[in-house]
Amino acid sequence: MSPSAAPHEPLLNVADYARAARAAMERKAFDYYEGGALDEVTLRDNSESWSRLKLYYRVLTGTGARDLSTTVLGQAVSMPILVAPTAFHKLACAEGEAAAARAAKAARTLFILSSLSNIAMESVFPEAGSPRWFQLYIYKDRGVTLELVQRAEAAGAEAIVLTVDAPGWGTRERDVRNSFSLPEGLTVENLSPLGKGEMPEMPGSGLAAYVRANFKSDLGFDDLDWLCAATRLPVVVKGVCRGDDARRCAEHGAKAVVVSNHGGRQLDTAPATCEALPHVVEAVGDLCEIYVDGGVRRGSDV
């Protein structure tokens, strides 16, 4: 599908939407959404590994009505497809994260708001249904982190999703080449009241510079212990790829873990999440719930 034809062709799948977005968006913004770390090996593996799984279907089961509904942390969702936290939605849509929250509500599934959103949580969560969770990075200033947690509780978040695979920022060469930063008028809105909403414009990645200046780089299980004690909400740990790490997270209080490699945007050549998932399931057992993201493009992946 050529860029000129993109708006006139039916959009039938995720790949169609990606091609249409490439044609419509500024390159800097599209590359931020689509790109991965270094050679993007893990980025490609994430999607290709799902397609290598074969579905041995059953026949003559007598099954009529199909019900895909399930639960996450005891709350009902219509299907096992959830909205993972992603940053900077206003790069693509003027309504930003509020539009994504409304879409998740309409689909009756989980919405997770990124702490790096362009709209403040207090404005997004009223648009979302239930369940609605808040994704968190640990900042160098623990007071900043605690205030985010307390605001999330007050705004109606029902769980805190702690991202643990980004103590340092992956080298995303597309962002470096594009000198990626937020355009004028957009901020990290959840952090604006705390004086950390602006992203520097500079050669290379302004986002990487923001992370180096603000995120705690020496995360440990003591940080997970602290967070579990600091909030009344269940804590979900996002970004594990090893079974032993996942089990320790559960033993330190996590109610769920997300098998994730940050979409192949952090450590390139990390295993695809499809490959890591069985090891995590075996190690964790029934200690906590397990979710997975990365490379899911079709219903057949689910």
Q: Which two tokens stand for residue 275?
A: 């490959």
Helix, strand, or coil here: 260? coil
Alpha helices in 25-160, H assignment, sequence order: 27-34, 41-51, 96-107, 121-124, 142-155
**Distance separating the N- and C-terminal Cα atoms of the chain:** 26
- What are the distances in angstroms from CA 91 to CA 26, 127, 267? 9, 19, 24
Q: Pick the catalytic residue: 8, 89, 262, 279? A: 262
- What are the distances in angstroms from CA 76 to CA 63, 156, 291? 22, 17, 15
Euclidean distance between CA atoms 105 and 88, whole angstroms: 20
Alpha helices in 125-197, H assignment, sequence order: 142-155, 173-178
Residue 300 is classified by DSSP as G
151 closest CA partner among 128, 130, 123: 123
Instruction: Answer whether 151's CB lies under 8 Å from 157's CB.
Output: no
CB atoms within 10 A of CB 40: 18
Instruction: Answer whether 138's CB lies under 8 Å from 145's CB.
Output: yes
Alpha helices in 117-204, H assignment, sequence order: 121-124, 142-155, 173-178
Residue found by looking up tokens 């007071």 in the block: 143
Instruction: Answer whether 50's CB lies under 8 Å from 301's CB.
Output: yes
Q: Which two tokens stand for residue 67?
A: 């019900």
Check if 8 is active-site: no
List residues with catalytic annotation. 262
